[in-house]
Homo-oligomer: A and B are copies of this chain.
Amino acid sequence: MAAWSERLAGVRGVLLDISGVLHDSGEGGGVPIPGSVEALARLKRSQLKVRFCTNESQKSRGDLVGLLRHMGFDISEGEVTAPAPATCLILKERGLRPHLLIHDGIRSEFAQIDTSNPNCVVIADAGESFSYQNMNKAFQVLMELDNPVLISLGKGRYYKETSGLMLDVGAYTKALEYACGIKAEVVGKPAPGYFQSALQEMGVESHEAIMIGDDIVGDVGGAQRCGMRALQVRTGKFRPSDEHHPEVKADGYVDNLAEAVDLLLQYAHQ
């Protein structure tokens, strides 16, 4: 593999995944990943532009940022690209009235959305609310539509909480796709449009940007398909087999955000 100086040359902007990079979520909001609070602070003191790009769809953006600030992270709501606000824009643009299969923690994001007489289903990481009854209700709504529209906030397979690996929304989206014979529209990583909007909000072209995430497919593969570079951290849901993934090869593997920031501050922007 080329030297880090070559791999990181010309990077002007950094997109950061949140869960598994900054912190591990879990009971009471979870715990920061060692070194990440300080690493983020150093990154933000540098000349590099920084933005957060998350698939978090169980908590509202405000609640998520509140938790992270409480852990000591330098982060504000305006710096975060999150799927629920992006979905609300789409719903309004297209006149869609969703049946919501979501966690109560994110319901406030949809407060301004008309949910009467639904003509689509929005599915997010509903966690414990993924009961058979709730899944069946969403299925029945879709089956009654002439042109069933399913919008999925991300399509992650699983994530890591302090208590262990947890099924993510993608598994349940697959279930509804199969049952209804349809394909969901994904709002979140790895959808190209989602990365593009984060880049636009950061004001950096894709070839000058790098993604840092713990998901070899959703973060690394998705960002690379948009023309960005991408590093995988060996924290969060990282598994050793990711470094030999059959389809995706990161531009670099680092132990954690702290090592990524060390390398970026040394070699980027040259």
Contacts and interface: CB of A to CB of B under 8 A. Distances in A.
A118 to B, nearest CB: 16
A158 B135 CA distance: 12
Given A127-B132, A133-B128, A165 B178 contact: no
A248 interface: no
Interface residues of A, number: 31
A17 interface: no
Contacts of A174: 174-175, 177-178
Contacts of A180: 157
Contacts of A170: 178-179
- Most B CB atoms within 10 A — which of A133, A158, A165, A167? A167
Q: Is the contact region of chain A dominated by helix, strand, or loop, or is it mixed?
A: helix
Interface stretch (A44-52, A80-88, A136-144, A207-215): A136-144
A5 to B, nearest CB: 35
A157 B133 CA distance: 16
B133 A132 contact: no
B168 A140 contact: no
A168 B166 CA distance: 22
Interface string A40-61: 0000000000000000000000
Given A131-B131, A139-B171, 20 more contacts: A126-B132, A127-B132, A128-B131, A130-B132, A132-B167, A135-B167, A135-B171, A136-B167, A139-B158, A139-B165, A139-B167, A140-B165, A157-B179, A158-B179, A167-B175, A170-B179, A171-B178, A174-B174, A174-B177, A174-B178
5 contacts: A127-B132, A128-B131, A130-B132, A139-B158, A158-B179
Closest 5 CB pairs of A and B: A171-B175, A174-B178, A171-B179, A175-B175, A130-B132
